[in-house]
């Protein structure tokens, strides 16, 4: 019985993590990538900090509404979004 529970928990964690990562990538493409593309083009001067923060806020809001699965994994994946990569 314990092995089945451990197996189920592990499977749930893996599936939750993959779903959440995919969701974050989709939300980033939808809400932040257009802002970043605009920053690289002629419209760069029209981009404000509010545009960037607004994109991030939309990601956060939609993620909180749409993420399903293990709550601890959902939170960990979102925190990993903010992890600073060290070179």
pLDDT of residue 87: 52
In angstroms, rounded to a whole number, what is the distance separating the alpha carbons of residues 15 and 43?
A: 39
How many DSSP H helices and E strands does the chain contain?
Answer: 4, 0
47/42 Cα distance (integer angstroms)? 10
pTM greater than 0.75: yes
User: CA 62 to CA 40: how far, in whole Å?
Assistant: 26
Q: How far apart are CA 72 and CA 57, in angstroms?
A: 21
Model pLDDT for residues 19-76, shown as the tens digit of each residue: 999 999 999 999 999 999 998 988 788 889 999 999 999 999 999 999 999 999 999 9
What pLDDT is stored for residue 70 in this prediction?
A: 94
């Amino acid at each position: 019985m314990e092995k089945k529970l451990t197996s189920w928990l592990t499977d749930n964690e893996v599936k939750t993590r993959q779903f959440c990562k995919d969701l974050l990538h989709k939300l980033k493409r939808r809400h932040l990538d257009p802002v970043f593309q605009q920053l690289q083009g002629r419209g760069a001067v029209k981009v404000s900090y509010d545009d960037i923060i607004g994109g991030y806020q939309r990601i956060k809001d939609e993620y909180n509404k749409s993420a399903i699965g293990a709550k601890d994994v959902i939170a960990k994946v979102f925190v990993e979004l903010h992890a600073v990569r060290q070179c």
